[in-house]
Chains A and B, each alone.
Chain A
Amino acid sequence: MSDVLLAEIATVAPSGRAHVLRRFLRHRLALLGVIVIAFLGFVAASAPWLAPYDPDEIAIAQRYSPPLSEGRLLGADDLGRDVETRLMYAGRISLSVGISAMLVTLVVGFAVGAFAAYLGGWIDTLLMRLTDVMLCFPSVFLLLFVAAFVTPSLSTIALMIGLTCWMEIARIVHAQILALKSADFIAAARMAGAPAWRIVLRQILPNTLAPILVAATLNTANAILLESYISFLGYGIQPPQASWGNMLTNAQSDFQVDPWLAVFPGLAITLAVASFNFIGDGLRDALDPRVRD
């Protein structure tokens, strides 16, 4: 009896994966975002094979060559290194940092929010107060402060960004779990005799997924922006390794000589961030139970 009831209850609970997918697909900008990210991801992943040059290959004679000259699509930088190549390799770095940072925020945020909501009491208060306090610090300040005395590498940067941006996810998870704890269909499942773990897996997880997914995509966008900024300042990815951010470090002076050098990395960042934002937006609309149109 309980299994049948549980199955029925599961269908009554807000869900419907095919339905959500359909609504997402209707969001043209979100689709565009997916395509762009897929493209960027593909290019980044296959950089070692696709790139025309070596990213560290210096050719002083061709410094500052503008795009479409010397056989280079996007020109060469201040040391004669190929911009297109470096852009691709930088994509690998920036995208990986963005996604890894997002994963850190997910893990930390979910842990904090879930423990707080599930355990309740003083642990709940303590953890949520911690979240509130962390939210008082502007992330850029915090990030730079920590970056100043940590030797920067891809993993440390991703970790740092993650540790400064988990709070929003913690709040979302906390609110979701609290709401679900008292939701009708959970009560019904409990009355039908379902064990706690099954409730968590079958009922709680699918329903917390939606806003978390949205927050995760938006967090990735934010992480890419943060990495680019600290790398621009010199506290992130260290040269000669390329990231879209540190390719802009000398942009101010480069403008005098070759403005194009400053344009492409910034465009790449904007493209990636905008795509993740569009995807997040599309997901939010698709997963919103209150359909408006």
Chain B
Amino acid sequence: MTRYVLSRLGQSLLLLVGVSIIGFGLMHLAPGGPFAIYTLNPTVTAQDIERVKHQFGLDQPVYVQYAKWAFGLATGQWGYSFFGGRPVSSIVLERLPATFELMGSSLALALIIGVAIGVIAAVRRNSWIDYTTTTAAMIALSLPTFWFGLLAIYLFAQTLGWLPAGGIASTGGGGLMDRLQHLLLPMLVLAFVIVAQWSRYTRSAMLDILDQDFMRTARAKGLRPARVLVGYGLRAALVPLVTLAGLQLPLLVGGALVTETVFSWPGMGLLFVNALGTRDYPVLMAILMVGALVVVLGNLLADILAALIDPRIKLGHV
């Protein structure tokens, strides 16, 4: 098992290197050039730019530039924001908890509901329950999340006034109840699409499993239906589902961005969109890298979890 974890860790590191290379390449595409990011001095004058160019810039070979940049990335020296001059790492990291709060709660809720719906649809294959949930799921994941969010705000916040229209808490800070009220709508909106996707994935995975021999054996042993379905069926489905969760992460992070924008949720996504407006490249690049990091780590976690559930994986059998 340790060997497997180490090998996956190694692969993840390689991925991160690749990610940083792509990031570096993207940076060169940005107008203002690469040395824009190297600005360590918050107050940038033309002289400073010349000096910086000289210090970090174009007179050095590309791979040295890359090495310096990548090193900075890895050690948390992400430069300074173009506007306000605060260190990018502080700006981004202080937004991280809010994004995780949103992503985490949505994912948890969505997985529970989505998997449950998928299992029911698979067990009652081709019944009206199956058809309605499958069709509803398809429509649900065709909804533009931002539009759905706007409608939700209009309905629940503006018209009915049940829930706040945005933000993470009322001004002046709020108690737990207040924060939950603010979390509810964005969480549900983000979870909505995830529920739709997961119900389909689970249904598909369960359909494959319900036909397997070991399910018949479980029934032949006279085990209780709940044990057969969950203990035997869902357990077998867990592995493809966990792996899928990892692959879904980019969409989850992207979805979080959309949801944060619409609900003015002070997370990384909203920061990204605001930084876009001001073309604050250091911030944009940092968030892009963090986003990719979350995806890589998430996939690593998912793979390790899968190997824990299915011991054949680390042997390379499956």
List residues of A whose CB falls within 8 A of some B CB: 29, 129-130, 132-142, 144-146, 148-149, 221, 225, 228-229, 232-233, 235, 245, 248, 251-252, 255-256, 259, 262-263, 265-266, 269-270, 273-274, 277-278, 281, 292-293
Contact = CB atoms under 8 A, between A and B. Distances in A.
Given A139-B254, A145-B284, A248-B147, 9 more contacts: A129-B14, A132-B18, A135-B250, A136-B292, A141-B291, A145-B285, A148-B284, A251-B147, A266-B148
6 contacts: A135-B295, A255-B153, A262-B151, A270-B139, A270-B147, A281-B138
* Candidate in B31, B147, B279 with the most chain A CB atoms within 10 angstroms: B147
A145 B26 contact: yes
Nearest to A262: B150
Interface string B148-174: 101101100010000000000000000
A274 B134 CA distance: 12
B296 A136 contact: yes
A135 B299 CA distance: 11
Contacts of B146: 229, 232, 248
Contacts of A142: 288
Contacts of B250: 135-139
Contacts of B285: 145
Contacts of B292: 136-138
Contacts of A252: 150, 153, 262
Q: What's the interface size class on B, roughly?
A: 35 or more
Given A133-B15, A235-B276, A262-B150, A138 B138 contact: no
A138 B257 contact: yes
Contacts of A256: 158
B257 A274 contact: no
Given A136-B295, A141-B254, A141-B291, A148 B276 contact: yes
Contact of A149 (B21, B31, B126, B144): B31
* Candidate in B22, B144, B251, B258 with the most chain A CB atoms within 10 angstroms: B144
A222 to B, nearest CB: 10
Contact of B254 (A134, A140, A228): A140
A269 B142 CA distance: 8
B275 to A, nearest CB: 9
Contact of A293 (B14, B22, B126, B150): B126
Nearest to A263: B151
